[in-house]
Amino acid sequence: MGILLSALELAVVEDGSPATEVLASTAAVTGKLEELGYHRVWIAEHHGSPAIATSSPPVLAAHLAAVTSSIRIGSGGVMAPNHAPLAIAEQFATLSALHPGRIDLGVGRGPGTFDEKIIRALRRGADPATDDDYRADVAELLRHLAGETGIRVLPGEVPTPEPWLLCSSAAGARLAAELGLPIAVAHHIRPQNTAEVLQAYRENFKPSQWREEPYVILAVETICADTDAEAAYFAGPCAVIKSYLLNGEGGDLAFPTREQAAAHEFTRESKELIARFTAAQAHGGPEKVVRSLKDLAAATGADELMLTTPVYDAAARARSYELVAKAFG
């Protein structure tokens, strides 16, 4: 069996587009992914962003599951510090009852925003969550899913959503290994950490009721078009935002248009940072992208590749997924 292909959808917003249009196009792209044979689609949790319209993964996941029939749907992920563990368990158990055997519950450590005001509002004035808080929340969530807390999550027997841990550091990987969970490695965010994350995970993995052996999804930024030049053009708006983020600036930026991005003047340092980052991902025409993805899969031993395509044009995003699927064969 070949390596599985999946997708992380961000509901990327072109500057000025309303969420109604963006979310409708996200559903359309998800339908295309199912048609192409992708294994799963996940939704990330982001708050207060003008560039990403996925503030509520369980609500959007419910819609995507309702308009598809076979592809797995889930969170990539729900940010544990923002929600009570029981609330997460109830939401995803409900989804699993509605769509048995199709629901994934990916859990992450971050707040899903750079805005301190939003962080305080989500946590209702509580202090920022510590690593110990996160470990305790994940452990409690798993106990709720396993029916070990004495609290009825839903009446009767309900298929359990599949739990995952999102990791971009060795500490997160060790927690996943200790709990016996499958992991999704955020190579698309911190590729420099990938080797250390995988080593920590595999060396420390303990079999559990959730997984008998380690299982790795590698999330890769993937922008594919008919030619390398066209892919670079589609990647332009994301590169502009990345030029600020890689320098620790601009957590509240909207995507520029492709024309604006083409005219943007990058500093030499920004060009170098973006070039290093892009070299670790999969950008270009079909042959180049598939070669990059296969090389990453071979180098990391990933069981599954999750493509994230930060292109706000839904047609271009769907085309990217299609080109990759066909080139993979």
pLDDT digit string, tens, across residues 208-245: 999 999 999 999 999 999 999 999 999 999 999 888 87
pLDDT digit string, tens, across residues 167-188: 999 999 999 999 999 999 999 9
Q: Where are the domains of the chain?
A: 4-228+283-328
Percentages of the chain per state (helix, strand, coil), in multiples of 5: 50, 15, 35
> Which of 209, 217, 180 is closest to 41 using CA atoms?
217
Report the predicted TM-score, pTM, of the whole model to 2 decimal places. Answer: 0.94
Domain 4-228+283-328 indexed as CATH 3.20.20.30 = yes
Question: 110 with 131: CB under 8 angstroms?
Answer: no
Residue 110 to residues 69, 116, 226: CA-CA distances in angstroms?
31, 12, 35
- Cis preceding-peptide flag for 77 (omega within 30 of 0): yes
pLDDT digit string, tens, across residues 195-215: 999 999 999 999 999 999 999
* Model confidence band, residue 139 (pLDDT cutoffs 50, 70, 90): very high
